[in-house]
């Protein structure tokens, strides 16, 4: 097998791998942002996320906040 026939194939595989890697890191970043929003909702929200209806998230997760040491009223 000559180097000339192998090189383009390797290039394609490498660029495909780069595309996959970029896509996967974008998915991971989106997942991390969602995770931070979820943690905010459970541990920090004081009626901002569902402000029209009251402090529902805070009261529902109330015991969890106390238990895991998050500041609570």
Residues that bind other proteins (CB under 8 A): 13, 17, 20-21, 23-25, 27-29, 31-32, 34-36, 38-39, 41-44, 46, 54-56, 59-73
Nearer to other proteins, 7 or 25 (CB): 25
Measured between alpha carbons, how far is 49 from 55 in angstroms, rounded to an integer?
9
Q: How many CB atoms lie within 10 A of CB 25?
A: 10
Q: Which two tokens stand for residue 40?
A: 């905010």
Considering the complex, state which of residue 6 and residue 38 has its C-beta at the smaller distance from other proteins: 38
> Cβ closer to other proteins: 11 or 25?
25
CB of 2 to other proteins, least distance (A): 21
Cα distance between residue 40 and residue 32, in whole Å: 12
CB of 24 to other proteins, least distance (A): 4
Residue 13: how many CB atoms within 10 A of its CB? 10
């Amino acid at each position: 097998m000559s180097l000339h026939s192998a090189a383009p194939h390797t290039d394609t595989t490498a660029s495909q791998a780069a595309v996959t890697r970029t896509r996967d890191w974008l998915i991971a970043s989106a997942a991390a942002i969602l995770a931070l929003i979820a943690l905010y909702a459970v541990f920090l929200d004081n009626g901002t996320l569902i402000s029209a209806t009251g402090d529902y998230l805070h009261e529902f997760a109330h015991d969890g906040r106390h238990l895991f040491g998050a500041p609570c009223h």
